[in-house]
Amino acid sequence: MKSVKLFYLRNCPFCKRALRYIDEARAAHPELAAVEIEMIEESEQPEAADRYDYYYVPTFYVGDVKVHEGGIYPDEVEPILRKALD
Residues 6 or more apart in contact with residue 74 via CB below 8 angstroms = 21, 24, 25
Write the CA distances from 68 to 26, 29, 42, 65, integer angstroms.
18, 20, 16, 9
- CATH number of the structural domain spanning residue 75: 3.40.30.10
Compute the Cα dihedral for 66, 63, 13, 56 and give only its sign: negative
Per the structure, the count of domains in the chain is: 1
> pLDDT for 17-63, tens place per residue?
999 999 999 999 999 999 999 999 999 999 999 999 999 999 999 99
pTM: 0.93
